[in-house]
Structure 1
């Protein structure tokens, strides 16, 4: 294997592994509500949009002499106001993502055992995740492997089970429900988000090809996952997996629950530790305040009423990732010193549509 091919595989795998996460569980529900054709349309649109965004961000990184986090690049190219918005956007968005994992922990916990309430299982998950963050276990590279193995295993299990029941897809509405036409946009943007992988990818060669395939492969897997869920169960729940109860053998559901729990726990620790570091490096928070916000922020958000899986995924994908996408386009235009073109205007429109829909819906 040549160095070029090896770099391509490592780089594409890094992006794909970052993208494949909790967002995929929101897709079957919104695809069914809006129509499968609508969902697949947005999956294609978001794939194209994110390929462009990731290329732009990679070019911004390569054109900037010093290395920064996203907020640092925003400060250089867009000024202090945009920088403050990006800091708040990143930290609040990450706290809400942790809340999404708290919600999912109930779903996977219920697959493993029917004993105890969902919130009891969530609190246990929260205690384990918070303890791991406190011990700085983010440094253990094994966590990244656990995330990828867990998510790919779940998608593979659901896909092969779905292959056994292809006839059930005949009863699925593949049309377009115009009243819910924009519903899938924000969850799809959330699902395909992998911007954090780009800085590490710039150290490899074959960047354009790696970005292309690192985005396309997860999109194809997501489409297969959605169709498999629709084939397996006539009941499609917000989290995708709860609706499988009664339609998939309990032992298989336990395996799915275990893989899912390991994966989201690893993601929880990884994201939580990154937020902890960001609070210290970007905002100068004292250590106690860093831990307090990371540990209690998601729990407070949940009990304050932010406990709808689809609602949170849509909020993050629409508002926070919508703003992030627009910021990256504007940074890129500043970095390459070019005016706004029709193609960049259309790209901004995709993310702006998600923001506007989430505000007015």
Structure 2
């Protein structure tokens, strides 16, 4: 595998593996491990399909833009406005979540004040935004490989301590709980335009990069959840790590916290650069102003705590599914007949499947809103 393709895969993998990985064991335990794996398989297949659809839309369009720009080109002003609202809800809240979680992880590593640690995380990530795509992509390759290695180590160390009885739970009352969280944890669409940039001149490899780059995180989510649930059982915590305290040793806990910090670093930078590019390409904002605005938005996370983090993650995941993914499906229909560039590959989806997906995403949104309001 050549370096450009590897870099593209690492960029998508690094984007997808974010704080959401730590919420998956908790929601899987709440519903039951096997039903949770079923959820993961189905949503991984759907996510790969959506990532490929976005890739095809990008390849059908000569203009360089992001989701709001594509929506405006293919769906008109109303579609562009709808996509803009969705983007400016989901991405900023995602960045804020990463700052909150990053501060928590660094605080546990350094045993320091959460506010100071959150501020330090924000400063480091802001510097990454200023550096831009190319240096960050090279950093993500190393960090992604290191993250996968850490998950592998945690899995191997956990094996002797796994209790098979922890996998026998099934709670149908929590059946919809994993939906938004897993959808959030698999989200990698903001990285797709960056993948095309990395693979410019070799756009046919974009399909391979998308499939492999989405499957790798899903596989490691499964083994990470297996390890955490198998060891922690009913002590499985919302952020996975604290439930392992006293069971795997301090060194493994520290390794897990370090993994969390790296996961946040890679995901934040891709989402942050994506939001900055939306402001530059789709709203014609100056690069400096766009960068400062993204930094200012994420700074909010320094002043918030983790109390409602998992609820917020689930809500963001469903917002992405209900709005952004539906918009992608609608754009793909228009782009099949209204395009100015022949794509290197095509994804043919029957209309009934498109409308079924739309109904699933909208249904998920309604459930998540009701669940969120109950909390």
Q: Same fold (TM over 0.5)?
A: yes
Contact 1:15 1:214 in 2 (8 A): yes
| TM-superposition CA deviations, 1:161-213 (whole Å, max 9, x none) | 222223x13233342x2221111111111111122343435734355555444
1:94 aligns with 2:91: yes
d(CA) in 1 for partners of 2:298, 2:248: 32
Note if 1:359 corresponds to 2:369: yes
Partners of 1:12 and 1:290 in 2: how far apart? 27
- 1:169 is aligned to 164
Conserved? CA contact 1:143–1:270, under 8 Å: no
| Aligned ranges 1:198-213 → 2 under 5 Å | 198-199=192-193, 200-201=195-196, 203-205=202-204, 208-213=207-212
For structure 2, which runs of at least 5 residues remain unmatched after alignment? 338-347
Report the counterpart of residue 73 of structure 1 in structure 2: 70
Q: Say how many residue pairs are matched.
A: 354
Alpha-carbon distance between aligned partners in 2 of 1:267 and 1:131, rounded to the nearest angstrom: 14
Q: How does 1:31-46 map to 2 (within 5 A)?
A: 31-46=28-43
Per-residue displacement from partner, 1:203-225 (whole Å, max 9, x unpaired)?
34355555444333322221111
Which range moves more in the overlay, 56-65 or 20-29?
56-65
C-alpha RMSD of the superposition: 3.0
Comparing 229-238 with 303-312, greater Cα deviation is found at 303-312
Residue matched to 2:182: 188
Say whether 1:30 aligns with 2:27. yes
Higher alpha-carbon deviation: 312-321 or 50-59: 50-59
Which whole-Å CA distance do the structure 1 matches of 2:10 and 2:120 have between them? 32
Contact residue 102 and residue 261 of structure 2 kept, 8 A: yes
Larger CA deviation: 62-71 vs 76-85: 62-71
**Cα pair 1:99 1:299 within 8 Å, conserved:** yes
SS at match of 1:233: helix
Residues 198/128 of structure 1: CA separation in 2 closer, same or farther (3 Å cut): closer
| Residues 1:280 and 1:11: Cα distance change in structure 2 (over 3 Å) | closer
TM-score, with structure 1 as normaliser: 0.85
Q: What residue in structure 1 maps to residue 149 of structure 2?
A: 153
1:282 Cα deviation from its structure 2 partner: 2.7
The DSSP-based 3-state class of the residue aligned with 2:229 is: helix
Residues 16 and 254 (structure 1), Cα distance of their counterparts in 2 relative to 1, 3 Å cut: closer
Matched position secondary structure for 1:79 = helix
Aligned equivalent of 2:173:
179
> How far did 1:121 drift?
1.9
Once structures 1 and 2 are overlaid, which stretch shifts more, 15-24 or 154-163? 15-24
Distance between the aligned counterparts of 1:159 and 1:190, measured in 2?
23
Distance apart, 1:294 and its partner CA? 2.1
Q: Is the 8 A contact 1:13 1:214 kept in 2?
A: yes
Q: Is the 8 A contact 2:90 2:320 kept in 1?
A: yes
C-alpha distance in 1 between matches for 2:24 and 2:207: 27
Instruction: Supply the distance in 1 between the matched residues of 2:213 and 2:289 (Cα, whole angstroms).
Output: 36
Shift of 1:13: 4.8
Structure 1 unaligned spans of 5+: none
Mapping for residues 46-65 of structure 1, pairs under 5 Å = 46-65=43-62
